[in-house]
Chain A
């Protein structure tokens, strides 16, 4: 994985404080097309703040973000979407009263062809069918009805809908904040497969997860954060979990012995 084009994402010098708390001091993140970058760190390390600055959900106090070399306006979710960035947020970002199909297309609704579409009428049938295809494509067999309100779904099903939405929208980069947190083993594996498929489509993927064995299974690169700073940016191959944990916790001497399967 060497440089061919400008990276899909280059974020540099990002900083964000909340009152006296410096959540993010030096946020650096580079992602290339067709690459999965895992962002790891202890709670409070600044991972979510960093990706919120990239996704437009937060306006950073300093720093810049460029997408394929073009500087992106910061602090606007719509701008980030227009630059091809889609995000699965921790705690999702669903309207529980709206159906699966309605949530999948929220703010990107399909309109009817012709005059009716120009008058603003929605093509609900097309959205339902595309929703079906999306869920089917992800191998979701437990969800029978895309007209069901998202609030009626299980946590895992909602998570899968959120992942489907991000993957279907992203033109260049998908950011996933703990996408497997609410999931069982089988569904987690499905999300991992989706991440791989997304990478193989040539998109960049940023994955935040505490599930280090799974991270090592899918990531090409591991970016480790501690106390609001990026402290390491390493190729994933050959990395051991205890090395990552040591960097996350800032322990210089590698005295902890963990025997987790990689």
Chain B
């Protein structure tokens, strides 16, 4: 259309020569594959690659994947949601309670008369609780104009406390085991069902982020809220939407949590939000908004779970996982900044 002139910034040439050199998901994938190869080589008899081990990694990652996908939207829009772990716990407690109430009295054989319907309603309840929590976050951030760090730090406490109040701090027992046998521990083509669900939702979320106005407006307000507003973007609505997405993801992750353990894990999620947040940032989403990658977040989610499984398998204390993730986080952001220059 036009002749080339020497005024093009060098970056555009590079990005056209190979989007891969600038694509964080590509880097993360290479790192993840490298981790898998290393653990496979040093694990006894290649046991790291056993189906059971890989399935366990997949199951353990599914909920984290959903949290990371939700946080990708929030960070992309220039906000933060510290409440996702607490929302997960609250949703799982509500879902567990609903399942126990609706499932009826178990028979002598331990089967519940209404297990199927009870679990479906429990799953819906988890998603609704998450969505409402997200809506509250979004409305507080946009209407009170309080910084999202502060708002979600507050709602994190509220959600955690509400979960403890509901059950007096105890985990919900007596959930129909069908939640594990027919969903949580089930597989299709060898892939854990919760992971399949998480991946399908991630694909949809990726389309929403990159191919719809909702996603584009989220990134626009993350890049410059004032610029987006003046360009005609409804900043309040877009902001609420990203928090609702994050809440919905946390709610569904709450149900996955029950399906994984057969009960709730109220005190088992103190670092879940930080793990998801680390994955999102490692995956190339800017902490300051404007740039976000759903595939990057999803792939990066597997780094902590692979590290943990690998350390356990080769006999390194799992405590080292936290150290390793901390180091990976800093290196990833540093590399990202180098490439951004």
Contact = CB atoms under 8 A, between A and B. Distances in A.
Sorting the interface of chain A by its residue count into under 10, 10 to 19, 20 to 34 or 35 or more gives 20 to 34
Contacts of B216: 98, 102, 106, 109, 122
A107 B217 contact: yes
A106 B220 contact: yes
Contact of A95 (B5, B8, B214, B228): B228
Nearest to A124: B211
A152 B223 CA distance: 13
Interface of B: 1-2, 4-5, 7-9, 11-12, 15-16, 207, 211-214, 216-217, 219-224, 226-234, 286, 289-291
Nearest to B11: A152
Contact of A96 (B2, B221, B233, B290): B290
Interface string A131-164: 0100010000110110110001100000000000
Instruction: Give the most central of A57, A93, A97, A121: most B CB within 10 Å.
Output: A97
20 contacts: A78-B234, A93-B230, A95-B220, A95-B227, A97-B219, A97-B290, A106-B228, A107-B217, A107-B228, A107-B234, A120-B212, A121-B211, A141-B2, A144-B2, A144-B8, A145-B12, A148-B12, A152-B11, A153-B9, A165-B231
A98 B12 contact: no
A93 B291 CA distance: 18
A98 B223 contact: yes
Interface in A84-139: 87, 89, 92-98, 102-103, 106-109, 120-122, 124, 132, 136
B32 to A, nearest CB: 26
Interface of A: 57, 77-78, 81, 87, 89, 92-98, 102-103, 106-109, 120-122, 124, 132, 136, 141-142, 144-145, 147-148, 152-153, 165
A121 B212 contact: yes
A87 B11 contact: no
B264 to A, nearest CB: 36
A102 B234 CA distance: 16
Contacts of A136: 1-2
Contact of A142 (B5, B219, B286, B289): B5
Query: Is chain A's interface secondary structure helix, strand, loop, or mixed overall?
Result: loop
Nearest to B288: A97
A174 to B, nearest CB: 14
A106 B16 contact: no
Given A92-B227, A97-B223, A122 B211 contact: yes
A95 to B, nearest CB: 4
Contacts of A142: 5, 7
A96 B213 contact: no
Nearest to A148: B12
A78 B226 CA distance: 14
A95 B219 contact: yes
A137 to B, nearest CB: 12
Nearest to A112: B211
Nearest to A165: B231
A144 B4 contact: yes
Contacts of B207: 121
Given A107-B217, A136-B2, A94 B224 contact: yes
Given A89-B230, A106-B232, A106-B233, A141 B9 contact: no
B219 A98 contact: yes
Contact of A145 (B8, B221, B229, B291): B8
A214 to B, nearest CB: 24
Nearest to A52: B230
A147 B234 CA distance: 24
Contacts of B1: 132, 136
Contacts of A145: 8, 12, 16
B2 A95 contact: no
Contacts of B226: 93
Contacts of B211: 120-122, 124
B231 A106 contact: yes
Contacts of A132: 1
Given A93-B227, A107-B232, A147-B15, 13 more contacts: A78-B234, A92-B227, A96-B223, A97-B290, A107-B217, A107-B228, A109-B216, A120-B211, A124-B211, A136-B1, A148-B9, A148-B11, A152-B12
